[in-house]
Structure 1
Amino acid sequence: MTTLHQPDTLQNVRRLSSILYWVCSLAIIFQFLVVPFIWYVPGWVETTSSQMTVSITDLHALSGWQKYATMLVMMIPSLILAYGLNHLRKMFGAFSNNAIFQPEPIRHLKLFGIALLVQTLAKPLTGAATSVLATFHRPAGERMLSIGLSNAEASTLFLGGLIIVIAWVLGEAARIDDENRSFV
């Protein structure tokens, strides 16, 4: 009777973590490019228009300080997510180097969850600020304040909370394991 070779789970974790480390790197770069793409790549915004609180025509009509202030405000959620993705990247880097149940990767996981929560809460606020900045130059009565909320934000809030709780549980498990090893 032959037995099937069981895959080395830790080797798979290291291999996949190495890949995800680089995927996170690409995602961080994309976060820095998403707002400039909206402004400068024609046709790209149609794929993200459901997330926009103002029309692309209103954005392109802006000039001077309004244009740059609006771009900066629009980048806030992307910058927060880039911060979180950097911590996720560091966690995958630690996993790929076999540091699995160590405090450092667990801390990075928790910081990613926090960044996800903060980014999700910031999106409606920055969307509202974007709509005010983009219509500020209009006469009274044509200015607008638009706040967009979707099911995706609710799901992301729960996901961020779940990640934070999992990080706390993993941290506690690692602490208990370290405590048990000190007794031996």
Structure 2
Amino acid sequence: MINLNNVQKWARNLEWLTMISLIVIPVAIAATLFTTPITPDMLDQRLETFAVSPNISQPEMYIAVTLNLIPVIILLFTLNTMRQLFGLYRQGQILTDTCARLIQRIGQGFLALALAPFLLNPMLSYILSRANPSGERSISVSLNSDMFFFAIAGGLIIIIGWALREASDLAAENRAFV
């Protein structure tokens, strides 16, 4: 029999860490949103990579803030999936189809974190500069090493999930044979 004590101990600690993150991140964001007025200057400070028009309308500012929350939602989804996986590991469930599916979902979360800026940045740059006079508006498309890293990591984790699904199927088949 394999000794799972280390896996279970680490899984318990990481499960707690993800649970704390799932609480702290939304609370910190909500506190910031409720205590900081949404103004062009605030957006200019927070969204350093974009030029914010001083004439931006209130609805455009709220749209920009909402679009900026999409990666946070993806992150929270991914953290919650990790929490679920760590919970199964803590219970001693290691080589199961459920664990493999959760690992795939984590990989999809990382892939979504890579794609989100690529899709959202052009929208954000347009919304933030839309109030500028014609000729001074901009649409920004960018790629950076973080996006590349998250895409590669997401792909790797998805493949590991697929491999674990195959392994869990073989393990189930072997248990049925014995």
Question: If the TM-score is normalised by the length of the shorter chain, which range does it land in?
Answer: 0.7 to 0.9
Aligned mates of 1:18, 1:121 — CA distance in 2: 31
CA contact (8 A) 1:84 1:115 kept: yes
CA contact (8 A) 2:53 2:130 kept: no
Instruction: Report whether the alignment pairs 1:119 with 2:113.
Output: yes
3-state secondary structure, aligned to 1:147: coil
Instruction: Report whether the alignment pairs 1:11 with 2:12.
Output: no
Closer, same or farther: CA 97–60 of 1 in aligned 2, 3 Å:
farther
Aligned mates of 2:129, 2:156 — CA distance in 1: 37
Unpaired runs of 5+ residues, structure 2, are none
Closer, same or farther: CA 140–30 of 1 in aligned 2, 3 Å:
farther
Aligned mates of 1:128, 1:79 — CA distance in 2: 19
Instruction: Report whether the alignment pairs 1:176 with 2:170.
Output: yes
Give the length in aligned residue pairs.
171
Deviation, structure 1 residue 177: 0.9
Instruction: Report whether the alignment pairs 1:101 with 2:95.
Output: yes
Deviation, structure 1 residue 69: 0.6
CA contact (8 A) 1:136 1:143 kept: yes
Q: CA RMSD in A?
A: 2.9
Deviation, structure 1 residue 53: 3.3
CA contact (8 A) 1:35 1:75 kept: no
Q: Quick one: which amino acid aligns to residue 79 of structure 1?
A: I
With 151-160 and 62-71 compared, the bigger mean Cα shift is at 62-71
Partner of residue 80, structure 1: 74
Percent identical among aligned pairs is 27
CA contact (8 A) 1:35 1:74 kept: no
State TM-score, norm by structure 2.
Answer: 0.82
CA contact (8 A) 1:20 1:92 kept: yes
Deviation, structure 1 residue 66: 0.7
Aligned mates of 2:115, 2:70 — CA distance in 1: 11
Deviation, structure 1 residue 59: 7.7
Partner of residue 156, structure 2: 162
Aligned mates of 1:30, 1:154 — CA distance in 2: 27
CA contact (8 A) 1:24 1:86 kept: yes
* Offset from partner CA, 1:86-112 (integer Å, 9 cap, x none): 111100011111111122122111101
Q: Quick one: which amino acid aligns to residue 152 of structure 1?
A: D
CA contact (8 A) 1:53 1:146 kept: no
